[in-house]
Each structure stands twice: as structure tokens, then as C-alpha cells.
Structure 1
Amino acid sequence: MPVQHPLDPQFTYLSNITWFSPMFYLTGFPGLEAIERWIFIPFFFMYLVAISGNCFILVIIKINTHLHTPMYYLLFLLALTDLGLSVSTLPTTIGIFWFKCRGIYFGACQIQMFCIHSFSFMESSVLLVMFFDRFIAICHPLRYFAIITGQRVIRVSLIIILRGPVALVPIIVLLKAFPYCGPRVLSHSFCLHQEVIHLACTDTTFNNLYGLTLVVFTVMLDLVLIALSYGLILHTVAGLPSQEERLRAFQTCTSHLCAVLLFFVPMMGLSLVHRFGKHAPPAVHLFMANTYLFMPPMLNPIIYSIKTKEIRSAITKLLGLRKGNINSC
């Protein structure tokens, strides 16, 4: 069946006759439609690694009782968030690259952007709390179990789960009231708020200001607090008496630092490109968006499996491998 282009008069007509359920067009990779099935191969690999890797982390933490500690509860929540972020983009990506299905009704687009942005804010919050956990463990080790209790982890987890979705509700719901004129073309294989809002033919000042404020007081604030925590950790580590102790203390937070850089650098780059790089080539937008949404869920399980001794030991035990065999690889 031929792919319907957004500039096709029939597509424009079908879009304009629907006010309450407008149809949007996801371009995927413009100009590469002929080889999109081949392009889907690396995407399929990333999805496979992300979904199986995060499920593996969830199972390992679930079945190993010695990992039922605050730090691994937070890692469990991070894996759950990464899994949700991967699944959020999966339906439309498969629809475009494999079935050539590019149209998406606004209701489905609304749900997808809500899930993507909610899981993104959740991941930011989880990374902040994980860094705070490492800060207490390194800077105040004698008070760690008094400060980081199971009850507090549960309360913080509930805040993490609710903070993003509750804050996003106003701008996501308000999108429904906006009229959308002409061809409604989105430059990715999924729906993002910062793209949809540009297609509204009305005043969107509130959404733009609210979205910017939300990013500043969630993601940016989380990043600043993480940077401050990391600065205090470095100060404490520098004061340790021996180099071996400094190295061991620093190694406990290297995996967290990798996860933070992997998530925040592409996310902030994407936000800056959408707001200030309107004349940037489309390839830049595509690269930043795909890096931000696909790389952290894929690489986080690998990073924590390699860098965390307890996770490595649990994997060895689960797979029935001898320690000697692992060390020889």
C-alpha cells in the first residue's frame, strides 16, 4: 500500500475535517523511506537490548534477597523507568519502519507524548535520588542506615512516580483545545510536546512558558543538585587518607555518573535545539531525539552490569557460570 505523504491533498483534507481528533504525520527519516526497513535493524537491536536488559535487571533484583537494599531499590526503579521509556516509543517506530503506517490520531499522540515526557522526568528524579544515596554513603557512612531507610525510599519513590505525570497534565490536556492548521507533520517517529505545540495555529504562550518552567524546575534543578552532590563527593574523596580508599570510594559512583551524563547531555541538547536551533538541519534534531530516547535505556543495564560487583555476581549465579570462567573472559 503506498505511503500517504502529508502534502497530499487527500491527507490535508482528512486532517482539516477533524477538529477534535486531528491526524498527525510522523516522518521518521525523511528522504530515506526506501531503506527504512534496513534502518529499523539497528533500532530493533536497541529495543532488544534495552527491553531485555532492563527486564534482566528487574528479575535479578527481585529474586536476590541480598539486593533488597535502598540502593538496589532505586536501581530497580531506574530499570523500570528505562523500560517504560523504551515501550513508549515502540508502537509508532514499528508502525513507521515496518508497516509504513505514518498517521497517528491526536489522542494516541497525546498519550505517547505524556508517557515519553513522564518517564523522562521520572528518570531525572531517580538519578538525583541515586546520587543522593551515594553522597550519604560516601560522605556520611556512619549515618547511612539511619538516613536511608526503606520507608523513606518508598516515600521518595512515590514522589518520583507522581512528580512528572502530575506536572505534565496541564500542558498535555491543553493541547486538545488548540486548533491545528494545514499539514501536521512531525519530524520524528514519535510525538514530542515541543514539536506538536509548534503546529498549533493559536497563541501557545502559556504552554511554552509552562514547559520551559517545568524543565527548569525539574530537569535543570535535578542536574544542579546532582552537580553539587558530586562536588561534595569529590571533596570528601580527596580527603581520604590513602589512594586505595579514594579509588574505591570513587568507583562506587562511576556507574551513576555515566548514567547521568548519558541521560542529561542529549536531553539538554535536544531541548536547546528545539528552542534555539530552529534553523538547524533536520538531521541534528533526529540525532539528538533518538540519542536521548534510545541510548540511556539501552546502555544503563550494561553499565550497571559491568560496574556493579553485586549485579555481576548475581548474573553469574543466575546463569550458572563459574567465577573463574568470567574472570578469564
Structure 2
Amino acid sequence: MQETPFCLRVRHLLPYSMSDSNTTDFTNPSTFILLGIPGLEAAHVWISIPFFTMYAIAILGNFTILFIVKMEPSLHGPMYYFLCMLAVTDLVLSTSILPKTLSIFWFNSREIDFSACLTQMYFINCFLATESGIFVAMALDRYVAICHPLRHSSILTNPVVAKIGLAVLLRGFMLMLPFPLLARLWPYCRINIIPHTHCEHIAVVKQACADIRVSNYYGLFVLFFLTGLDVLFIAVSYSQILKAIFSLPTKDTRLKTFGTCISHLCVILAFYIPGLFSLLVQRFGHNVALHFHVLMANMYPLVPPMLNPIIYGVRTRHIRDRLLRLLSHKRT
């Protein structure tokens, strides 16, 4: 038996009645309705507290990283340039999601324009891909710094770092462009309710009254090709790094270098594990509760932007010392 389209199954969720003539297909709806976290509507205000806290920490922490690196000439090097790229990416990524999510939680502002929805979808996917690419670049930087320390400054020059950053950004822009273009092609029903806090790709295209296998297949291709290659490159880099660490002559040097790598690995794991889990659950976890889907889909764009400046600020001595000097100078 053919499954009833989602847009027709959820008619009873609308706060107003609509005639049957309003459920006919058309290509571009004017707006979508974001439900927030289905099943937890009564707790939206309480859920907004940790969400807002994470966002505030992400904004403050990443701007602090950018400010410190800009003001401290000794930090003008490849590692800190990549860290600044990561901070900018985190700021764009979290800001693409949180303002609209909080407006749903606080003001029940659920409508979003169709074009704005596709734009949000594009920015989220684009900067998730960009962040993944930056982690690859940072793994390359750590590999060269630890395995080939004498050649680090000659290999990762400022022009090379700039080219790597541009390539990572262009990769995200180009690979994610088909997502909104394909989504705009599908015919949608007039009842366009998205059971989500933001315009997540699969949640949006599921509203189409059409065969969306092309969007699904392309999403899986990007997931396994782009993310798979990035994770493979990072794994190979860190396997070589660990091999080099264990060959260092003294225990103190090994522990110091290993501690630096651990902070990088914590950031990387905090990004990839929730993200891969959420994307796979969205496609294959049909028996998982919908509110769990939505909560997980909010974690991977919010938790890493909050954790990255904290981990790098605490674990990176030059940033920590510069911040302490800045704070002590203000107190005096």
C-alpha cells in the first residue's frame, strides 16, 4: 500500500482549518511552519535556557579567540589562522540556527519563508562541510609540526594556509549547492509543516509530494564521500602523529605533545560523533522518537561551537596566557 504523504497526514496539527482545495500540489510554497521539538512543546521555554546558554558561550568564546589572535602578533601562524577559520565557521553555523530556534521557543514564531528556509538549509550544510575541512587542515598542521618540525614554516606558509582555507570554503559551497537547488524543484503540498526547529535538509524534502530519492542519494553521497574522506585523512594523520610522539626521547616531551593532540581529538570527536549519529538516525532510525531526532540534530551544530573555544583556550598556552594578561590588565 502506498504511504500517505506526510503533508496530508499532519493536517490536524495546524492551528487553523484548511479546505481540501488547499492541499493540492504546487511548486513553491510561500512559507513553512516549524513545529520546534514535537512532543515537548510545553517544555520549549525550559529547553531554550541551555540552548541560549550554549549560543552565548559560543559567541563570546569564538569572538574572544578572534580578538586575541588579532591582537597578539606572536600568534600569527598556521595553527592560529586555522583556529580563526574554525571560530568564524562556528559563529556562522550557530547563528544560522539559534535565532530562529529561540524565536520558536520564546515567541511561538513558527513560520519561515520558503526561500529563507532553503537559505538556512544551505548555510547549515555548507558550514558543516567547511568545519569538517578545517579539521582536516588542522590535522595536517599538527602532522607537519610534530612529524616534520624543521620544515613546518617552509611547508605551511601564509599563502599556502590562505589557499587551503579558500579550497575548504569553496568545497563546502559547491558540494552543498545541490541541496537547495533540488529542494526548490520538488512540488510541495500547501500544508508544509516541518517537525523540527530549523530547516534541516531531510526534514524539508520529506514535505515534498514527489519522489525525493535524488535528494536522499545525493545526501548519502555527501555524507559518506566527504565526511568519510575527511575522517580517513584525520585518522591517518593522527596515527602518524601518535607514532612520532611515542618515538620522542623523553617522557615529559611525549606527555606535553600528547596533551596537545588530545585537545584536538576531543574537538574533532565532539563534532563528528553527534553529527554522524544524527544524520544516520534521520535516514534510518524510523523507530527512534521524533523529539530525540530533533534534539540530536540541534546538538552537533551547537555543542562544537561552544566547546571549541573552551578547549583551545584552556589547552593552548599562548591563548590562555594572553587572555589572562588581558583580564588582569582590565582589573588594574
What's the TM-score once normalised by structure 1's chain length?
A: 0.91
In structure 1, which of residues 308, 312, 315 is the aligned counterpart of residue 320 of structure 2?
A: 312
1:261-276 aligned at under 5 Å gives the runs 261-276=269-284
2:66 touches 2:84 (CA, 8 Å); kept in 1? yes
User: Are 1:297 and 2:291 an aligned pair?
Assistant: no
Q: Note the C-alpha offset of 1:186.
A: 2.0
Which of 204-213 and 294-303 deviates more? 204-213
The equivalent of 1:198 in structure 2 is: 206
Aligned to 1:136: 144
Q: Which amino acid in 2 is paired with 1:159?
A: A
Report the alpha carbon displacement of residue 38 of structure 1 after superposing the two structures with TM. 2.7
Alpha-carbon offset, residue 300 of structure 1: 0.8
> 1 CA distance for matches of 2:144 and 2:236?
13
- Matched residue, 1:285: 293
Give the counterpart letter for 1:257 in structure 2.
Answer: L
Q: 1:318 to 1:12 in 2, by over 3 A?
A: farther
Give the SS at the match of 1:21: coil
Conservation of the 8 A alpha-carbon contact between 1:51 and 1:83 = yes
Instruction: List gaps (5 residues or longer) in structure 2.
Output: 1-11
Structure 2 residue matching 1:151: 3-state secondary structure: helix
For residues 49 and 105 of structure 1, what CA distance do their matches in structure 2 show?
29
Tell whether 2:158 aligns with 1:163. Answer: no
CA 169–11 in structure 1, closer or farther in 2 if over 3 Å, else same? farther
8 Å contact 1:267–1:292 — kept in the other structure? yes
Q: Counterparts of 2:19 and 2:82 in 1: how far apart (Å)?
A: 46
Looking at structure 2, the residues matched to 66 and 37 of structure 1 have their Cα atoms a distance apart, in angstroms, of 44
Pair 1:219 & 2:227 matched: yes
Change (3 A) 1:300 1:12: farther
Contact preservation (8 Å) 1:237, 1:250: yes
Equivalents in 2 of 1:103, 1:244: separation in Å?
57
CA distance, structure 2, for counterparts of residue 7 and residue 218 of structure 1? 41
Q: Does 1:41 align with 2:61?
A: no
CA distance in 2, matches of 1:15, 1:78: 44
C-alpha distance in structure 1 between counterparts of 2:77 and 2:322, whole Å:
14
CA distance in 2, matches of 1:243, 1:48: 39
CA contact (8 A) 1:270 1:288 kept: yes
Q: Is the Cα–Cα contact under 8 Å of residues 79 and 301 in structure 1 kept in the other structure?
A: yes
Per-residue CA shift, 1:239-295, capped at 9, x if unaligned? Answer: 122211211221222221111000000011011101211221113212321211110
1:120 maps to 2:128: yes
Compare 79-88 and 236-245 and name the one that shifted more: 236-245
- The runs of 5 or more residues in structure 1 that have no matched partner are 323-329
| Residue matched to 1:147 | 155
Identity, in percent, stands at 43
Cα RMSD (Å): 2.0
| Distance across 2 between alignment mates of 1:165 and 1:306 | 32
Map 1:82-101; keep pairs closer than 5 Å: 82-101=90-109
Alpha-carbon deviation of 1:143? 1.1
Return the match for 1:208 from 188, 212, 216: 216
Shift of 1:22: 4.0
Which has the higher relative contact order, 1 or 2, with Cα contacts under 8 A spaced 6 or more apart? 2
What count of residue pairs does the alignment treat as equivalent?
319
Relative to structure 1, is the Cα distance of residues 137 and 183 closer, same or farther in structure 2, using a 3 angstrom cutoff?
same
- Cα separation, 2, equivalents of 1:302 and 1:231: 25
Distance 1:95 1:84 in 2: 18
Residue 11 of structure 1, CA deviation: 9.4
Please state whether the residue corresponding to 2:257 is helix, strand or coil. helix
Structure 1 contact 21–107 (Cα < 8 Å) conserved: no
User: C-alpha distance in 2, partners of 1:231/1:186?
Assistant: 42
- For 1:75, the equivalent position in structure 2 comes to 83
Q: CA deviation at 1:37?
A: 2.2
Q: In structure 2, which of residues 10, 34, 37 is the aligned counterpart of residue 29 of structure 1?
A: 37
1:35 to 1:13, Cα distance in 2 relative to 1, 3 A: farther
Please name the residue that 2:60 is paired with: 52
Q: Name 2:181's counterpart in structure 1.
A: 173
Residue pair 1:119, 1:164 contacting (<8 A) in 2 also: yes
Matches of 1:15 and 1:7, distance apart in 2: 16
The CA distance in 1 between the partners of 2:262 and 2:19, in whole Å, is: 50
Distance in 2 (CA, whole Å) between partners of 1:233 and 1:12 is: 63
Q: Secondary structure at the match of 2:107?
A: coil
Distance, in Å, in 1 between the alignment partners of 2:246 and 2:99 is 48
Deviation of 1:23 after TM superposition, in Å, equals 2.5
Mapped to 2, the partners of 1:321 and 1:14 lie a distance apart of: 64
Task: Name the CA shift for 1:15/1:128 in 2 (closer, same or farther; >3 Å).
Answer: farther
Whether contact under 8 Å (1:138, 1:233) holds in the other structure is yes
